[in-house]
Amino acid sequence: MLLFALAFLAAEAPAPQTLPAILARVSEEAEVLQQNAPKALTQETLQQRSLMPPSRFRPRVGRAALEPSQPRLRTREIVSEYTVGTLGQSASRDLVEFRQVISVDGRPVQSPEAARHALAAGIQSPDDRTRKRMIEEFAKNGLVDVATDYGLILLAFSKRGLEHMEIAPAGEGRVGTDDALLFAWKQTSAAGGVLEFNGGETVRRALQGVLWVRKSDGLPLRVETWVEHMQSKRTVRDEATVDYTLSYHGFLTPASVVHRHLVGGQLLTENLYRYEPFKLFSADTEIKFTDLPEAAPPPPVKK
């Protein structure tokens, strides 16, 4: 019996994952996200902590007047209706994020219903300037160092994206209760990189990082990424960690994004994005959500 049990366990153990098999699973999940994300909507909460320059106000008397002014820590919480879509005039048809703010630091800006209608109109608009205006309006809520589209970084691992990427094994780890395999990756082109928004300037940069997949079946669990460039003789670094979860509808969606902006090695801004469970909708004049099935009532008790 003992030999039989050992043989059974050996037969049930998952076969070792090869890199081509894992990348095939990752690209498959990216394709499923690509197909379903434009039909989904959720609520996004952004908590931003940023280090601001010292206040211009200086006391005229007392010890405080002799002490140098210190940088100020500013916090913001922005809640938005969130979805993704393609830019109307984009030849690539790549997906990008769309947001409509509904509250700032607990103060209502518009109703969720009004925000959803604005999102639907923005996605259907053939004018790409609509999306740019949304980004500008988003940043005007006292935000700094805003970087968009990190939640969609899994799409960089599509079959087309993998053709412009270098990938190598990088060890093992754990995400929650799951054993994970790690892979270092690096884009060889900026076309699939992240879009950074700073003032009136937008720029897309090639990324690199670490991909975490579930050891048992290659399901993507986490994507770490970073990018560096020089600005005014100082190193500017943006890094992010994106955790994914399987939605009720069977495709991966972002659960959280932690983005950090560092200049000269000093952390200036930290953005924490959290996402409610995604819901599917039909993109027409009325955004209608599919209802989740209710639990079946318990069977009657036989007496």
172 burial (CB, 10 Å; 0-12 / 13-18 / 19+) is exposed
Backbone angles phi, psi at 116, to 5 degrees: -65, -40
Give pTM, 2 decimals. 0.80
pLDDT of residue 106: 95
Task: Give the CA radius of gyration of the chain.
Answer: 23
Cα(161)–Cα(187) distance, integer angstroms: 8
pLDDT tens for the 303 residues of the chain, in order? 444 443 444 444 455 479 999 999 999 999 999 999 999 999 999 999 998 666 555 555 556 555 556 667 899 999 999 999 887 655 556 888 999 999 999 999 999 999 998 888 887 776 667 777 888 888 888 888 787 889 999 999 999 999 999 999 999 999 999 999 999 999 998 776 766 666 556 677 889 999 999 999 999 999 999 999 888 899 999 999 999 999 989 999 999 999 999 999 999 999 999 999 999 875 433 555 454 444 444 455 454
Neighbours of 69 (CB within 10 A): 13
Backbone angles phi, psi at 101, to 5 degrees: -70, 135
Cα(201)–Cα(206) distance, integer angstroms: 17
pLDDT of residue 285: 38
Say if strands 252-263 and 208-214 run parallel, antiparallel, or are unpaired: unpaired
Residue 56: C-alpha distances to residues 37, 69, 125, 172, 259 (Å): 45, 8, 43, 49, 29
Q: Per DSSP, what are the bridge partners of residue 96?
A: 85
CATH no. for 16-52+71-279: 2.50.20
| Residues with Cβ within 8 Å of residue 274, at least 6 apart in sequence | 44, 45, 47, 255, 256
